Amino acid sequence: MKTELLIIGAGAAGMAAALSAWEAGCRDILLVDRRDRPGGILPQCLHKGFGLACFGTELTGPSYAEQLAQRLKITNVRLALGTEVLAIDADKTALLSDRYGLTELHFDRLILASGCREKSIGALPVAGTRPAGIFTAGQAQEMMNLRGQDPGNEILILGSGDLGLIMARQLVLAGKHVIAVVEKEAHYGGLARNFRRCIEPYRIPLLVRTTVTEIHGHGRISGVTLRRLDSGEEEQISCDTLITALGLIPERELVRKLGDPDWLFLAGNCRRVHDLVDSAVAEAERIGKEATR
Amino acid sequence: MKHVDVVVIGGGLLGCFAARNLCRWNLHIALLEAREDVCTGISRANTAIVYPGYDHKPGSLKAELCVRANARFDALCRELDLPFSRCGSLMLSFGEKADAVLKKKYENGLSLGVPGLRLLSGEEAQGMEPALAEGVTSALYAPTAGTVNPWELGIAACESAVANGAELCLNTRVLGIGRSLEGYRIETDRGLFSCRAVVNCAGLSADRVQELLFPAAVHIAPDAADYLILDKAAENKPTHIIQYEPEDGGKGLSAVPTVEGSLLLGPSERENEVDFAVSAEGLSFVRERAARVLPGLDLRDTIRSFAAVRPNPRRSDGSSIGSFVIEHPDPGFWSLIGIKTPGLTCADELGRHLADQVASFLNAGVNETFDGHRSGVKKMRGMSREQRNAAIRENPDCGEVLCCCEDVTRAEALEAIRRGATTLDGVKRRVGAGMGRCQGSRCQQKLIALLAQELGVSEAAICKDGAGSEILGSRRYEN
């Protein structure tokens, strides 16, 4: 199989890149995604606040994704969902796997729009046991909003990036007790807007210059040790769930060994982590054009 | 009451291999495991090294079994259909004192017949392994050293035992042992077993299990150890097992390039701890040692840390014991108490050694129908493109990647469940889902749904490992 432009990842950036490449005249575009719906992580972001710049109004994640998907429908961009890209070779072939078989796809140019993954707690030198009940924020969001899975009840959030702040609010609204949001820096990590909307109105305690040093519990997590970084004081608190928002790592594993060939373009969060979907989309539109020239 | 010939207590590596080797004889065997799965204790956390055997005292059981077990390891892993990497090991010295230690080990190894041993200069070692720190003064190279996934090995042995007629009884905790007309009466929380012989492989509880009926001359003084795992994408990983022998005689470090492609670093050592809980000091120790020996590693590539517990055998006066302890307090009762390094290497040999004694005591005939071959779960990851495509054509689930870090498909996860995984860790140990760099944050939620569907239970009932480790809260959201 052959395509002129392969785009990996049908999230906001991938769809925007596909649309702008189409508008720039590219007529042979294949957009692949491992999920079974387009939108990347947008469908799990049920809150409002997306799209002020691009659409002039505040959309929820699913409707933002829907806007892009609708625009894609009136193009001939082919969308292959439920498709995992297993490898990218330097001779411009991609190896795709789906439920029908393995496909070697030759392409002229590639836009990688594979987003990021969340840093997991395993990466931190945290002592203690390794019980159940520890999730990343994005994972908890997917569990609650797309799968109807309940992460737990007495919840501590480690990390105050946007995902941590937004999940704090969602958990409170779902009737959970968010014990605190814990942040090692002196200031919360996310946007001021998210702090004002998600933390302040619900009076969720924010503990800055604080971190988790030890996890307790056999079977399910029963608590953690918090350390105040300035005083060195430690305190043990009980919780049945720990949600981590430790930061996002651009997912570039597929192209790690390829260097920087002229046929490879990065777009969206795998290029750099964006605060706003709109800015990822704007960048992806530029890259879609660039990849078409 | 259930009547069998032999009860094996404990479904760790040793118990699984004891059961498998007992199946070589015409014996009815029950393998009792207290937990929900096999290989959940000592076997699940260790250094994963198949040792060449140069360390042990000539004439000792350890020396004899280890050298023989190492030589047979390729055949064993072929028979059990699991990956074994004979990557070789380099033990490093950074000074005269450690040079002398290495030389002694080298000579000891030669006298034991360890094949291929060589003492290398620092330059030679660095030539073989460019990632090493400057200043290596000598290295002991053992080309026969290797690595295997310990729980994969144990699970394979268990599957092989079951395929040859052994009965696996999970969630079956031994509460008491008494005498019966036949021999022994084993009281468990799932009923009584009567048997003619007992093989006690109860790991950290082996001394206490023996004491249910006999005194134990040897007790277990557990100590804990910490390990780190670096992502397979980490740069400057060694290709050999690196062992560091410190000049001051203190605790060294092993760096093991695992069969999965990650790098295992550790262990630290902490005395008198039974808990599988990681210590902060242990982690910093491992990090500090790793930075000293392999300075090119970026420890930010760490994806997980974990703790292991080792069963040190001690005499009643508190002195430690260097050899394997096989207690035999009664004609039909054997206990493996405090089998530590190289227990993984010797698991099959120890099992064979015990099975032969049990069979001779019971006058058992050879089981002519024993078939040692076991087929592992077909892993898509290692397949050629043609094989993989054919597998998907045959079963579409082979085309659906569920764990994207480790490239594990829905078909493999389903096969893990079919083979007895009932928990997330059970699936992880059988097919590797969730072992990679995102540590399950992208596949766990899918696996919970799959486990619930296949086991016919609610998602809320799915556990990470043992009872009480339910992953979800109780409330279900409706979309």
pLDDT in tens, A158-191: 999 999 999 999 999 999 999 999 999 999 999 9
- Name residues 158-187 of chain A within 8 A of B (Cβ): 174
Q: Which of A2, A3, A65, A9 is nearest to A32 (CA)?
A: A9
Chain B CB contacts of A129 under 8 Å are 275-278
Assigned domain for B77 exists: no
Q: What is the mean pLDDT of residues B311-324?
A: 90
| B163 in any annotated domain | no
Distances (CA, A) of A49 to A54, A59, A190: 12, 6, 14
Domains and CATH numbers, chain A: 2-115+251-290 (3.50.50.60), 118-248 (3.50.50.60)
Pair B293, B402 in one domain: no
User: How far apart, in whole angstroms, are the C-alpha atoms of residue A248 and residue A268?
Assistant: 13
Structural domain total, chain B: 2
Cα separation, B125 vs B137, in Å, equals 9
What ranges make up the beta strands (E) of A51-176? 59-60, 78-80, 84-89, 93-98, 101-112, 116-118, 127-128, 134-136, 154-158
Chain B CB contacts of A101 under 8 Å are 389, 392-393, 399
Encode pLDDT of B200-231 as tens digits: 999 999 999 999 999 999 999 998 999 999 99
Asked if A123 lies within 8 A of B303 by C-beta distance, the reply is: yes
A4 CA: distance to closest CA in chain B (Å): 23
Q: Range of B306's domain?
A: 85-144+222-311
> Which residues are CB-neighbours of A3 under 8 A, at least 6 positions away?
A28, A29, A30, A78, A105, A106, A107, A108
Q: Let me know if residue B150 belongs to a domain.
A: no
Is position B301 within any domain? yes
Share of chain A above pLDDT 70, in %: 100
Cβ-based contacts of A142 with chain B (< 8 Å): 445
Nearest to A122 among B279, B305, B479 (CB): B305
Q: Of B385, B449, B472, which has the smallest distance from its Cβ to A151's Cβ?
A: B472
Domain end marker among B284, B311, B338 = B311
Whole-number Å distance between alpha carbons of A126 and B284: 10
Q: Average pLDDT of B229-255?
A: 93
Q: What's the CA gap between B82 and B72, in Å, rounded?
A: 14
Kindly report the nearest CA distance between residue B472 and chain A, in angstroms: 5
What's the one-letter identity of residue B329? P
**Which residue of B230, B284, B305 to mutate against A (max A Cβ within 10 Å)?**
B305
DSSP-H helix ranges across B130-275:
150-163, 206-210
Chain A's closest residue to B425, CA to CA, is A132
Contacts of B229 in chain A (CB under 8 A): 122
Question: Which residues, at least 6 apart from B341, have a Cβ–Cβ distance to it below 8 Å?
Answer: B47, B51, B310
Q: Is residue B139 part of a domain?
A: yes
- Residue B426's contacts (CB-CB under 8 Å, 6 or more residues apart) are B36, B37, B416, B417, B420, B465
Q: Same domain, yes or no, for B138 and B269?
A: yes
Instruction: Give per-residue pLDDT as tens, A73-87.
Output: 999 999 999 999 999
Nearest residue, CB atoms, A120 vs list B233, B439, B479 = B439
Q: Does a structural domain hold residue B54?
A: no
| Phi, then psi, of A100 in degrees rounded to 5 | -105, -15
In a domain, B431, yes or no: yes
Q: Which residues of B fall within a CB distance of 8 Å from A99? A: 392, 396-397, 399-400
Sheet with B253-257, strands from edge to edge, namely B118-121, B138-142, B89-93, B241-245, B253-257, B263-266, B218-230, B302-315
Long-range contacts at A214-218 (CB < 8 A, ≥ 24 apart):
A214/A126, A214/A127, A214/A128, A214/B280, A215/A126, A215/A127, A215/A128, A215/A129, A215/A130, A215/A131, A215/A134, A215/A242, A216/A128, A216/A129, A217/A129, A217/A131, A217/A133, A218/A129, A218/A131, A218/B468
Whether residue B368 lies inside any domain: the answer is no
Which residue is listed with tokens 């958990």?
A: A171
Q: What is the pLDDT of residues A92-150, one digit of tens each?
A: 999 999 999 999 999 999 999 999 999 999 999 999 999 999 999 999 999 999 999 99
Contact (CB<8Å) A118/B441? yes
Q: What is the pTM of this model?
A: 0.96
Question: What does the pLDDT average to over A3-27?
Answer: 98
Query: What would the mean pLDDT of B93-105 be, rounded to a whole number?
Result: 96
Q: Which A residues, 31 through 70, put their C-beta within 8 Å of a C-beta on chain B?
A: 34
